[in-house]
Structure formats: C-alpha cells, structure tokens
Structure 1
Amino acid sequence: MRWYDDACGAALALELVGERWALLVMRELMFGPRRFGQIRAHLPGVSANVLTQRLEGLEAHGVLRRTVLAPPASVPVYELTPWGYEAEPILQTMGRWAARSPKHDPSLPLSPASTMLSLRTMLDTTRAGDMRAGIAFRFPDDAFVADLADGRLAIRRGERDDAEVIFTGGTMALIRVFYGKRPIAGEALTVDGDPGTAARFIDLFALPPKVESAAAQSGQRDF
C-alpha cells in the first residue's frame, strides 16, 4: 500500500519503515540476529501481535529475513539483510537530532543494543584522536565488545575477557556515568581494568546541546 503517492525517497522510506515500532525493531537487530522473545523483551510496549506484523512487513520489504542459527542452537531468529544494516546511519542521525530536543528524556530505559548504538553515535571522534582500546560491556542479558581505533568505534555482540576495561552492570547505570558524568562509585556499575583508560574512554561521550538555551524551562529532564 502506498501512503504518499510521492516519488521522494524520504516518502518511500517512510512507507518501508515508518510504521510504529519498525525502526526500533531494526535497532534491536543492528548487532546481529535475535529471537522473537529477545526482540520483544527490549521493546516492552509492543504486543506480540504488533511485533509479528512489523517483522512480517520488514521481511516483505527486504529489510530483514528469518533464518535458523547453526547447530547446536538451531533456533529461529530474525536478522537484517545487508541492505537493512545500511540503515544504521539513519538511526544515528535521527538519534543525534532528536537528542537536541528539550523533550528528550535521558532517564528513560534503553536496551543494550540501543545503548551500544548510542555510544557509536555520540562518540567525539576529534577527542578520541589516536586512542586505541578494547572495551567490554556486560549487561544482565547481553554482552558486547568495542574496539576503538582511528577515531572509530567498532562494536559487536560477544565476550572478551582480556579487554583493557570491562564495564558490568545495567544500561541505565552506564548511561548515567557516560552521559550524566555521575561518579562510578555511586552507580550499580563495576569497572575492571585500567582506571585511566576507563576514565579517558568515558570522557569521549556527551549528549549534543539542546536547540534552545531555555530548554530547562521547556521540559528538559536531567539524569
């Protein structure tokens, strides 16, 4: 079904992924395949029926596909197609743009995938300079490995015991430390490894400035 009858690429993009939850489903798949239950667990406001519809729609549009993990897992999962993964810059640009709104509330929950995508979006590449570091993140139900090099942050799902720094805890504790610059000691977050590398890495991230100086009077929320 065509919504807009418009040749603009942006109009077609909205027809492909503009339904509610569609982009957030893609966000949850940005770091690899996920089972239906794993996707729904990190989109608590979506019903099973609506999630099924969105997955079917995105599959029909060629954005994702259903597959089965190799043995011994052998479970059905959803994963983005190569074209689907190309949407990451769209999510990053939208996230950076919307974070400047006075209505952005950084205290609302973030899933592990959303947190990792946020770090990849908000990295200050100039400040990162020539810093190189291997960082691990361990959340209650997910784990990621990040490699910082040449001003870029590559992130994949997985474990790494020999990382220079390992952050363990909940996503919101990590967000308060990274963006709210709260002391680690006051949060339910543990940090193993080199303290200097950890501090320097945390310093590479900040939310963008709000669009107006009077944001605090317009509903801006803080950590």
Structure 2
Amino acid sequence: MPRQQQSAARPVRRRSYDQFCATARALDSVGDRWTLLIVRELLAGPRRYTDLHADLPGVSTDVLASRLKDMEQGGLAVRRRLPPPASAVVYELTEHGRGLLPVLTALAGWGAPALTERRPTDAVRAHWFALPLLRALDGLTHAGVVEVRLEEGEFHFRAGADAAAGDAYGYGPAEHADACLVLDSELCLALGRGELTPAQAVEEGRAEVLGDGPLATELRGDRPARP
C-alpha cells in the first residue's frame, strides 16, 4: 500500500497549562527547555541558525529548529534575510521577545551564586557573562559603549543613557569603545553578585579599565580633579 502522504503544515502543539495566571501564560511561551537560552543568544542581535547552534552546545538540530519555529509562531522572534552582500538568513527577537531582557537579567542574578566552580563538562562562552554584568553596572550614569575583555573572549554593551538603544549587548569587541574593562570570569561573576564594584576591583588590582573619557573614569571610580 502507498504510504499516507503527510501534511506540509506543521501541527500546532498544545503547550498550555490552562491556568488563568500570568506566570502560567508566560511559561506557555517560554517554559520549554532551551527557549530562554535561545532568547539569551538573540538579545545580542540577529544570528544565523548555524551560529545559534554553535553557541548552544548540547541542543540537537531538530530541537533548535522546533524551538525557533515555536518562537516565530508565538511572536517572540522573526526570521529574515540580510541584504546583499551578506544574503544570510537570520533570526532576531521582536519587541515582545526583547521584553524578556529583565527576566533573563533577574534569572542570571538569581543563578549567579550557583556558579561557584566550573564543572569539567561545562561549556563556556564570553558573552554568557554579559547578563550578570549588565545587572551589576545598571547604575552607570555616563553613556557610552563598554568593551569587556575576558580570557574566554570579548563582548560589549551600552551603558547609561545609551543602554536602552539597540541590542542588550554585542558579541566580540566593539567598533568603538568608550571604556574597556579587563578582568577574569570569576571577578565578572563577583561583580554580578554585588560583592564589589568595578572601582573596588580596580583598586585591588583585580581589574583594569582602559580609556580616558567620563565613562572610563566612572568605572575606575576616579574623583574629578579640583579646579
């Protein structure tokens, strides 16, 4: 007998807790395994499928494709083609998806105390330290771009009045940085836990801030010179 032809349409999965509760409704959208980590990756801007797969070690290609499709259907992400000469297909968060930044930042703060020791099986990427650090440096008053250099690599983010503009953070070094913060991942987590400030870390010789502008001066905790 000929095999029954499968429908081209993707079946809609029932994924609701069926509870009239804001928390339950939120988990209907982002409660599946890997979804929030995909959001974490896309908070830095549009990414290709292959890049997402490379920075989400442990996720299968089928699960990643399924979660991205669910995020598109749920209005969290969109897929688009970059203009030439790139012409690559990328995924990016919608405004609704970017609204998860405070959720991810709070979750990173809550989970930071558990990162006391790196297990042999733990993968690591430099930009995974961005969310704890964003929470720690949320009170910076001077606007600009901060580049963060770790042994694992670099990432950058906007501080002060610029923080609300564009993506939450970016991969790799900044095209133009107003300040550069050089430290290790252990100190980065300590800053995220609120154990000390960047100025205290600089004073103790555990971190270095490069740059001469107001943002670098604030990070170092330098006092303005008297007239």
- Scaled by the length of structure 1, the TM-score of the pair is 0.67
- Matching residue's letter, 1:42: D
Q: Does 1:37 align with 2:55?
A: no
Matches within 5 A, 1:19-38: 19-38=32-51
- Matching residue's letter, 1:201: L
Q: Does 1:93 align with 2:103?
A: no
Q: Deviations over 1:22-66 (max 9, x none)?
A: 100011000111011111111101111111111111111111111
Higher gyration radius (CA): 2
Contact 2:55–2:125 under 8 Å retained in 1: yes
Query: How far apart are the structure 2 equivalents of 1:179 and 1:163?
Result: 22
Over the residues paired in the alignment, what is the CA RMSD in angstroms?
3.8
Contact 1:143–1:157 under 8 Å retained in 2: no
Matched residue, 2:219: 201
Shift of 1:78: 0.7
Q: Deviations over 1:63-122 (max 9, x none)?
A: 11111112111101111111111111111122212334xx44463544344222221123
Q: Does 1:146 align with 2:157?
A: yes
Query: Secondary structure of the equivalent of 2:85?
Result: coil
* 151 and 65 in structure 1: CA distance in 2 versus 1, 3 angstrom threshold: closer
- Matching residue's letter, 1:175: S
Contact 2:129–2:189 under 8 Å retained in 1: no
Shift of 1:19: 0.7
Shift of 1:179: 3.3
Query: How far apart are the structure 2 equivalents of 1:124 and 1:156?
Result: 13
The match for 1:118 among 115, 118, 132 is: 132
Instruction: Tell which has more relative contact order, 1 or 2 (C-alpha 8 A, sep 6+).
Output: 1
Matched residue, 1:136: 147
Query: How far apart are the structure 2 equivalents of 1:69 and 1:141?
Result: 29
Matched residue, 1:174: 184
Q: Kindly tell me the number of residue pairs found equivalent between the two proteins.
A: 193
Contact 1:65–1:81 under 8 Å retained in 2: yes
Contact 2:43–2:169 under 8 Å retained in 1: no
Shift of 1:166: 3.5
Matched residue, 2:194: none
- Scaled by the length of structure 2, the TM-score of the pair is 0.66
* 161 and 91 in structure 1: CA distance in 2 versus 1, 3 angstrom threshold: closer
Q: Does 1:68 align with 2:81?
A: yes
Matched residue, 1:207: none
Shift of 1:149: 2.6
* 58 and 192 in structure 1: CA distance in 2 versus 1, 3 angstrom threshold: same
Shift of 1:139: 7.4
Matched residue, 1:208: none
- Matching residue's letter, 2:81: V
